[in-house]
Structure 1
Amino acid sequence: MKKISLSVAVLLISTFAAHVFAVAKPFISKSAYGEIDGQKIYQYTLTNSNGMVMKVINYGATITDIITPDRANKMGSVVLGFDSLKQYQGRNNALLGAVVGRVANRIANKKFILDGKEYLLPSNIHGGPKGFDKQVWAIEELPGSTEVALRLTYLSPDGESGFPGNLNVTMIYTLTNNNEVKLKYAATTDKPTPVVLTNHTYFNLTGTTGKVANTELTIQADKYLEADKNVMPSGHILDVKGSPFDFTVKKLIGKDIEASQGYDLTFALRNTSGKLALAATTYDPASGRQLQVYTTEPGVVVYTGNHFSERIIGRGGPFTKWGALCFETMHFPDSPNQPTFPNVILRPGEKFNSETVYKFSVRK
């Protein structure tokens, strides 16, 4: 048998190690996704060292896919999405994966008063028909050795959708080697304006578009916002104890979903420090997938796709009523009209900052 010199052996080992490291290093790829009014839309694919994948398009700063392993290490998509830009632009797109603003969720009577002046809006929900989810964002790749990220920016001009001030918004999506998806929001303005930003990703840990009734959920909240049939807050904050909305201990989502006709509710989280803290944990016993949601925000809107039906065909097949779970981490809905709610008015010289983390893992 021919002997290998020490120097050659070291070289071979170094080459092999470098090859392994190169394979394990997270990376970003980019592909054309379409065009809107002459603006190019691209889909960016972020892959970490474990093979977990997140996909994002610069239309609506939209998360189009998140692919994670189950307990058998089989990869599967855990968010609802579409196959084409046309579908994301279509009327059946219920903000799937998009950034929502300038003010997410609801504003009563399509108006608010700020510093003595009344502002009228085209809609009472999700920033209006031309909200941030309908805009083309500038996008920049942020490569790294332990995580990869995208920086998306958008200038919302003074008067857009009825809101005052030029609002500069920055959104950073990060995929870490700890199987975390981090969302960091920042904004500045040149006039006082309300700002409530969130992301509207629909999760289904089963890896399908079927009902999430057998998925477990725990929420770090003892109270929720009372709301009318149109999900408009009354201003009262009630105890979850004794209601169908008590998720202080783990409970199957389907247990009380009929009584509440599906969930579309704002939970007032225990954490009001403004620092990152656990907000919710959801677990699918069939696949073993677990998702923990951390946020700096005081509230989370939990929505279960109450208006989905099989006429909507997504990437994994027909959608299903109660076939997904949204965690809209944010300040409370209708805050500009509710003086007792946490402040959402951003003023010149101030900076809006918010962070949410989706941490994925598997229980064996």
Structure 2
Amino acid sequence: MTRQWALAGAAATLIMAAGSGQAFAADAKRATFGRLTDGQTVEAVTLSNHKGTSATVITYGASLQALMTPDRNGKAADIALGYSDLKTYVSTPQYFGATVGRFANRIAAGKYSIDGKTYAAPVNNGVNSLHGGTKGFDKVNWTVVKVQDGDAASVEMTYVSPDGDMGYPGQMTVHAIYSLNENNELTIRYTATTTKPTIVNITNHAYWNLAGEGGSRSINEHTLTLLADAYLPTDAGAIPTGEIRKVDGTVFDFRKPTAIGARVRDAADPQIVFGRGYDHNWVASRTRTAAPRLMAVVEDAVSGRKLELLSDQPGIQFYSGNFLDGTSSGKSGHIYREGDAFVLEPQIFPDTPNQPDFGSAILRPGETYSNTLIYRFSTQ
């Protein structure tokens, strides 16, 4: 899809706003990213605005493959980890930028009950099920529904998960809409419906390094603010114990800007030992909110880049890249290692289906699940 200028027949995409100068339209370009062994075409859609920010989304895993944005001096860099080719996404899966579900995060032993009936998802993380099982939403090819330019360039994708997929009941129809506006806000909105009672928890697993994914600096000097006064302690398998623990006086207190690396190796805290760093869910609220609100802020003093994350979900998983082990080489050729990226995933609490005090993860026919994420980029 080509950039549209205010010429004859396309005046609606570039207008002069009275008294306020020019207003530009963001645009979307569609291309082929590769083909799977079964012949399916994987597409890439690049959303661009006139602030120098662009987001590339691929249909494999409905994944954010790249995010280019300028630093305080106007120099752009790709700040999202990922691969340059489809073959590596398939052969070396790391959830880079992926849509994860049906149930993001962990389910203890992969088992849960709905209306008295027990179900099981494949175990793929020790004795637990992670991110939907062995073939979750991150490992399937989604279908493009619509690509459009405008005040916000966007791409809508869909995937139909059949009844019994990875052990989950009900046929689930999922939509993912990525949009980028002129305010440097990348919004991802997930919705899902089902034909039978099932469980659902869908989020995005983007890995970020505000210095650039090319490995010039780790994320340890990035400062993080998490607007949450409690977190969920886990057992050694990263399953929440059920306790909601206050962050006061702990290494989990990020209510004021704190360097990610300041306490990430605090072996005195058994929770840090369990996760080899941070891999925990913070409690932003006890229930989903009516509208997205600010949940986290990350800043890199050297580049001046700032990321603000808004969502309507009750929890936010913060992961400090502890298991990046040098087995993956990214788009720039840099080998991704521990501390090269962080992940922030708005979601309901992990293992909610087995934790009555966490609320409900059940989606029933006639209901619509949704999760809205807004990534706001700026410099200072």
Give me the TM-score of the superposition, normalised by structure 1. 0.92
Amino acid in structure 1 at the alignment position of 2:227: Q
Contact kept in structure 2, 1:271 and 1:277, CA below 8 Å: no
Residue number in structure 1 paired with 2:89: 88
Residue number in structure 2 paired with 1:3: none
SS in 2 for 1:127: coil
Residue number in structure 1 paired with 2:335: 318
Residue number in structure 1 paired with 2:174: 169
What is the aligned counterpart of 1:145 among 145, 150, 173? 150
Runs (4 or more) in structure 1 with deviation over 4 Å come to none
Residue number in structure 1 paired with 2:136: 131
Q: Deviations over 1:55-77 (max 9, x none)?
A: 01101001000000100000111
Residue number in structure 1 paired with 2:54: 53
SS in 2 for 1:340: helix
Residue number in structure 1 paired with 2:3: none
Shift of 1:171: 0.7
Residue number in structure 2 paired with 1:277: 293
Shift of 1:32: 1.4
**Structure 1 spans left out of the alignment, 5+ residues:** 1-12
Structure 1 CA distance, aligned partners of 2:75 and 2:145?
31
Amino acid in structure 2 at the alignment position of 1:326: V
Per the alignment, do residues 94 and 114 of structure 1 end up closer, same or farther by CA in structure 2, a change over 3 Å counting? same
SS in 1 for 2:309: strand
Shift of 1:311: 3.4
Residue number in structure 1 paired with 2:369: 352
Per the alignment, do residues 214 and 343 of structure 1 end up closer, same or farther by CA in structure 2, a change over 3 Å counting? same
**Structure 2 spans left out of the alignment, 5+ residues:** 1-5, 16-22, 124-128, 267-271
Q: Give the length in aligned residue pairs.
A: 349
Q: Percentage identity across aligned positions?
A: 38
Asked if 1:298 corresponds to 2:305, the answer is: no
Residue number in structure 1 paired with 2:324: 308
Give me the TM-score of the superposition, normalised by structure 2. 0.88
Shift of 1:41: 0.7
Shift of 1:274: 3.7
Shift of 1:14: 9.2
Residue number in structure 2 paired with 1:189: 194
Q: Deviations over 1:41-97 (max 9, x none)?
A: 111111112221100110100100000010000011111011110111123x21000
Asked if 1:268 corresponds to 2:283, the answer is: yes
Aligned ranges 1:248-267 → 2 under 5 Å: 248-259=255-266, 260=272, 261-267=276-282
Per the alignment, do residues 176 and 300 of structure 1 end up closer, same or farther by CA in structure 2, a change over 3 Å counting? same
Structure 2 CA distance, aligned partners of 1:270 and 1:331?
10
Aligned ranges 1:92-131 → 2 under 5 Å: 93-123=93-123, 124-131=129-136
Per the alignment, do residues 288 and 271 of structure 1 end up closer, same or farther by CA in structure 2, a change over 3 Å counting? farther
Shift of 1:268: 0.5
Structure 2 CA distance, aligned partners of 1:28 and 1:247?
37
Contact kept in structure 1, 2:203 and 2:371, CA below 8 Å: no
Decide which structure has the larger Cα Rg and report it.
Answer: 1
SS in 1 for 2:241: strand
Structure 2 CA distance, aligned partners of 1:310 and 1:38?
31
What RMSD over aligned residues (CA atoms) do the two structures have, in Å?
2.0
Residue number in structure 1 paired with 2:348: 331
Contact kept in structure 1, 2:154 and 2:177, CA below 8 Å: yes
Structure 2 CA distance, aligned partners of 1:226 and 1:333?
11
Structure 1 CA distance, aligned partners of 2:7 and 2:47?
27
Per the alignment, do residues 14 and 193 of structure 1 end up closer, same or farther by CA in structure 2, a change over 3 Å counting? closer
Contact kept in structure 2, 1:184 and 1:356, CA below 8 Å: yes
